[in-house]
Amino acid sequence: MALDDRKKAILRAIVENYITNAEPVGSRSIAKNTNLNLSAATIRNEMGDLEELGYLTQPHTSAGRIPSGSGFRLYVDSLMEKYLMTAAELEQLRSVMLNKVRELDKIVKDVSAAFSNLTSLPTFGMLPSVESGSIKSIKLVGIDERTIMLIVSDNSGLVKNKLLRLKEGVSPEVITQLNKVLNDNLTGLTSSEINLSNIIEVQNAVGVNVEILTSVLELVHEAISEIDKHEVYMEGTTNILRFPEYNNIDKIREILEFFDDKESLDSMVRCLPAVREGEVSVFIGDENPAEELKGNSVVLSAYKVGNGMTGIIGVVGPMRMDYPRVVSGVGAFARQLEKMLGERFNTLPIDDKKKRPPQTD
């Protein structure tokens, strides 16, 4: 049975009523609180048809109906009206993001927390991934006579710090020498390109300080490996407790444990279908690959940093969420994050670069 305009209007009214009130929706409520100009009996018959088609479910015999996953999907795909963020909302989003000018991982983590506060939903951010991220710089800094800090950054702007405690003191001259040798031989290489030949070249250049070098190279490898993981940050997880859908202790424990498991989050994001650049994707209920999220919705969008580096930002919440507002917010958030990171790391999108006047010496 195809859905005519009347059924679509009734389904949209039910979804929006349920989003607002978190209670099963009855035919009288739709007849009374909408401008459909239909009797409760007519609406009740149409609701029965919508239930048979799988767009509505009835939690209890005497209760009204609630949207099913298919009902929410149809609503998101073709029934909801586009929500336009107000100037005040956009300004608030920009202001909280512009205050977060730090390393890439800190930026994504902090603005995810800020966006979670704006949406009252748990927000996740996956750092940009590249097929072959290369080392941009390696820096050793003496903290005290026997402690050195290693700072490694890659070409996407990700930074990792490591501390090395030495058995014997090391002079500033030795640190300066190590900095030069490491950068001369390792910058521009990916982790897979650092081989025995590179290491031998570094060792020959360092000479008598090879003992220190061995420990430093181990930390360099450890730092690069951590950068290549492209961590997923989850912020505002306790916001999930605001929704009546999570009033079951076992359900709360299950989803909070899932949010705390970094490997599960990473697997969830990577298992989702590819997100097209500039689009917002919505995964409802059973469309989510993670079993713990089957009764929830995930709304996400991709953002770019530089050439070929793409991260993901999104929110998780109940299927009963304000889709027009959330979809609009996630899209605006991704665009603002992309713009801010482009300015921060001098990697503006091509269209924006064309608008810039040519620089002169």
- CATH number for region 135-228: 3.30.390.60
304 DSSP β-pair partners: 310
Q: How far is CA 75 from the centre of its chain?
A: 24
- The per-residue pLDDT string of the chain (361 residues; one tens digit each, 9 = 90 and over) reads 678 999 999 999 999 999 999 999 999 999 998 889 999 999 999 999 999 999 999 988 777 899 999 999 999 999 998 887 777 777 776 666 655 545 667 777 887 888 888 888 999 888 776 545 678 888 988 888 788 888 888 776 667 788 888 887 788 888 888 888 888 888 887 767 777 777 777 777 777 666 677 788 888 877 777 666 667 888 999 888 889 988 888 888 888 888 888 777 777 777 777 677 678 999 999 998 888 888 899 999 988 876 556 788 899 999 999 999 999 989 988 888 888 777 665 543 434 443 444 433 3
pTM to 2 decimal places: 0.68
Scan for tokens 């205050």, then name that residue.
99
Tokens of 162: 């490591």
Q: Coil, strand or helix: which one is 23?
A: coil
H/E run at residue 156? none
Give me the architecture of the 5-79 domain, per CATH.
Orthogonal Bundle (1.10)
Please report the pLDDT score of residue 210 as a whole number.
62
Please check whether residue 314 is in contact with residue 282, taking contact to mean a CB–CB distance below 8 angstroms.
no
The predicted structure's pLDDT at residue 324: 93
* Domain definitions of the chain by residue range: 5-79, 87-122+236-354, 135-228
Torsion angle of the four alpha carbons 26, 27, 32, 36, in this order, in degrees rounded to the nearest 10 = 130
Query: CA-to-CA distance for 43 and 13, rounded, in angstroms?
Result: 11
Contact 233, 109 (CB under 8 A): yes
* DSSP-derived secondary structure for 45-112: HHHHHHHHTTSEE-SSTTS-BEE-HHHHHHIIIIISPPPPPPHHHHHHHHHHHHT--S-HHHHHHHHH
Which of 125, 168, 146, 190 has the alpha carbon at shortest distance from 334? 125
Fold match between domain 5-79 and domain 87-122+236-354: no
Q: How many CB atoms lie within 10 A of CB 256?
A: 17
So what's the pLDDT on residue 310?
77
Which CATH superfamily, name and number, covers 87-122+236-354?
Answer: GAF domain (3.30.450.40)
Q: What integer pLDDT is reported at residue 156 of this predicted model?
A: 63
pLDDT at 226: 67
Closest alpha carbon to 236 in 328, 111, 134: 111
Give SS3 for 215: helix
